[in-house]
């Protein structure tokens, strides 16, 4: 009997095995990629839902806000992987880049001058042109910038202040964020003299104090108006600035941090590591090596009060006042509220929960090593001395204003300070709004005394 010419069908379960090896490999890769993408989406959706409903972060909060690290090409686990938002500046040490787009991978947007755009502001604005508004620039550090997770329209000090002024006055106000994260008073002075003074300001507001306290108490080799970024830039030219015993990372360190940086971008991996974090193990963050170098110039754990820091701070503000008077620009100096001085004044009545906030805001790996009492003592002494200096300054209203306001204990009547501060330095948005309403009252009182008529463009 002749054999049948009909081919026996391959069972469905064996079709994959019957494929050529290369085709098997291709299908395996495709299936794996689809599986990983599907699981990543599911884990992200789960962690995001848990985060917004319970406030608990199963993965780093920034990973919840911006999906997905690999698609953006930036590693969320490493803050130095953010697109560069500042550049070297010969006057202020560093300054925000102009025309930043404010996309999800960029923490904020800027205009052509490198000034942060608040909500509703025109990205193409040209501040060289002066309208009929009373123009106010707000100088300071990160406390005037708003929180990065607000995206292109952050809830900044300036935005809230403009709202408060516009709601209470019959004139137009334009309030512009001029702060840069980490700036202290010497950098504000340089920004005013070399940048803002040419943009036709009617008033300058400085809202500061804490960054001067930080740098004067934490730089290991202190110099007047010293800044850790200046030492970092100097180390680019001369690596021995850090220390002669500085050494490049070993191969094992490089492999560990590179692997952690890559795999740490996956939601599945970070969620799977969560139980180990609960047991006290920390994910090897790529900034640990950078922090090791920084520790040679910056004492992250044991700040030491130096009275010269307060003297330099007050002198910088006085110099700014003198320059403002020369240009017929009003100026308002505000000693900002700070958690440290509030806790120092409450002494034994301070709540443990509020003291614990002093552990937040530095490097994540330091939180369990930080002794809050050391920070409270060092920064509390700085602000106590600054309070005395502000009390000695006489506000004047002769044509232009030179106003000195001590807001350092603005929140003294609030029992639960955790509602005000989300770390040792920064305020929650609701209380920035409360704060700026009070500042608006002081600005309007100043306007009542001097008129606050916008200067005509030259």
Same domain, 252 and 373: no
What's the pLDDT score for residue 7? 60
CA distances in angstroms from 145 to 118, 154, 230, 374, listed in the order given: 9, 8, 21, 27
Domain that holds residue 273: 231-294
Same domain, 96 and 169: yes
- 397-446 pLDDT tens trace: 988 999 999 999 999 999 999 999 989 999 988 899 999 999 999 999 99
Cβ atoms of residues 358 and 370 within 8 Å: yes
pLDDT above 90 (res 14): no
Same domain, 104 and 197: yes
Whether 378 is in a domain gets the answer yes
The three-point CA angle 374-296-240 to 5° equals: 160
Spatial CA neighbour of 56 closest among 67, 46, 66? 46
d(CA 179, CA 136): 13
What's the pLDDT score for residue 443? 96
Same domain, 214 and 341: yes
Same domain, 334 and 247: no
Whether 184 is in a domain gets the answer yes
- Residue that finishes a domain, picked among 294, 318, 346: 294
Average pLDDT over residues 355-365: 79
pLDDT above 60 (res 4): no
d(CA 217, CA 307): 9
Q: Per-residue confidence at 10, pLDDT binned at 50, 70, 90?
A: low
Same domain, 237 and 175: no
Burial class of 122 by CB neighbour count within 10 A (0 to 12, 13 to 18, 19+): exposed
Cβ atoms of residues 228 and 215 within 8 Å: yes
Whether 435 is in a domain gets the answer yes
Same domain, 276 and 166: no
What's the pLDDT score for residue 392? 95
Whether 53 is in a domain gets the answer yes
Same domain, 236 and 194: no
pTM, entire model: 0.78
Whether 455 is in a domain gets the answer no
CA distances in angstroms from 37 to 41, 71, 259, 267, 423, listed in the order given: 6, 11, 20, 10, 35
- 57-78 pLDDT tens trace: 777 765 655 555 555 443 333 3
Same domain, 146 and 67: no
What's the pLDDT score for residue 78? 36
Whether 246 is in a domain gets the answer yes
Average pLDDT over residues 379-385: 97
CB within 8 A of 33, min separation 6: which ones?
Answer: none
d(CA 238, CA 212): 26
- Residue that finishes a domain, picked among 294, 319, 340: 294
Of all residues in the chain, the percent with pLDDT exceeding 70 is: 79
Query: Is residue 335 helix, strand or coil?
Result: strand
d(CA 81, CA 58): 21
Whether 376 is in a domain gets the answer yes
- Residue that finishes a domain, picked among 246, 273, 294: 294
What's the pLDDT score for residue 454? 77
Domain count, the chain: 3
Cβ neighbours around 436 below 10 Å, total: 25
Same domain, 308 and 350: yes
Same domain, 435 and 348: yes
Q: CATH number of the domain that 381 lies in?
A: 3.40.50.1110
Same domain, 209 and 119: yes
Q: Of 67-76, 115-124, 318-327, where does mean pLDDT reach its minimum?
A: 67-76
Whether 78 is in a domain gets the answer no
């Amino acid at each position: 009997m002749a054999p049948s010419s009909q081919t026996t069908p391959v069972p469905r379960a064996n079709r994959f095995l019957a494929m050529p090896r290369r085709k098997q490999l291709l299908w395996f890769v495709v299936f794996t990629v689809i599986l990983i993408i599907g699981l990543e989406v599911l884990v992200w959706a789960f962690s995001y839902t848990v985060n917004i409903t319970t406030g608990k972060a199963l993965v780093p909060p920034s990973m919840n806000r911006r999906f997905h690290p690999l698609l953006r090409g930036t590693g969320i686990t490493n803050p130095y992987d953010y697109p560069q938002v500042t550049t070297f500046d010969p006057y202020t040490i560093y300054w925000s880049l102009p025309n930043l787009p404010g996309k999800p991978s960029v923490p904020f947007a800027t205009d052509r001058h490198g000034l942060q755009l608040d909500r509703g502001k025109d990205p193409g604005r040209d501040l060289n042109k002066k309208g009929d508004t009373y123009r106010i620039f707000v100088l300071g550090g990160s406390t005037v910038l708003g929180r990065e997770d607000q995206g292109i329209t952050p809830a900044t000090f300036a935005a809230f202040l403009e709202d408060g002024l516009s709601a209470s006055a019959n004139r137009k106000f334009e309030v512009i964020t001029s702060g840069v994260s980490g700036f202290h008073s010497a950098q504000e002075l340089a920004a005013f003299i070399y940048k803002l003074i040419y943009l036709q300001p009617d008033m300058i507001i400085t809202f500061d104090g804490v960054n001067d306290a930080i740098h004067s108490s934490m730089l290991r080799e202190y110099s007047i108006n010293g800044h850790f970024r200046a030492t970092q830039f100097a180390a680019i030219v001369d690596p021995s600035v850090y220390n002669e015993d500085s050494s490049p990372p070993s191969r094992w360190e490089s492999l560990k941090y590179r692997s952690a940086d890559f795999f740490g971008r996956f939601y599945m991996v970070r969620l799977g590591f969560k139980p180990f974090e609960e047991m006290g193990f920390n994910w090897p963050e790529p900034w640990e090596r950078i922090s090791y170098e920084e520790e040679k110039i910056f004492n992250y754990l044991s700040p030491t009060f130096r009275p010269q820091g307060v003297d330099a701070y007050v002198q910088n503000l006085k110099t700014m006042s003198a320059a403002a008077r020369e240009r017929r620009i009003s100026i308002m100096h505000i000693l900002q509220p700070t958690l440290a001085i509030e806790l120092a004044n409450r002494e034994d009545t301070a709540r443990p929960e509020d003291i614990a906030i002093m552990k937040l805001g530095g490097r994540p790996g330091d939180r369990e090593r930080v002794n809050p009492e050391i920070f409270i003592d060092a920064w509390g002494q700085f602000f106590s001395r600054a309070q005395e200096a502000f009390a000695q300054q006489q506000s004047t209203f002769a044509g232009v204003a030179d106003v000195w306001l001590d807001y350092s204990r603005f929140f003294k009547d609030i029992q639960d300070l955790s509602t005000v501060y989300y770390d040792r330095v920064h305020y929650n948005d609701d209380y920035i709004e409360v704060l700026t309403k009070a500042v608006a009252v002081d600005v309007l009182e100043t306007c009542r005394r001097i008129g606050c008529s916008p200067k005509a463009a030259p």
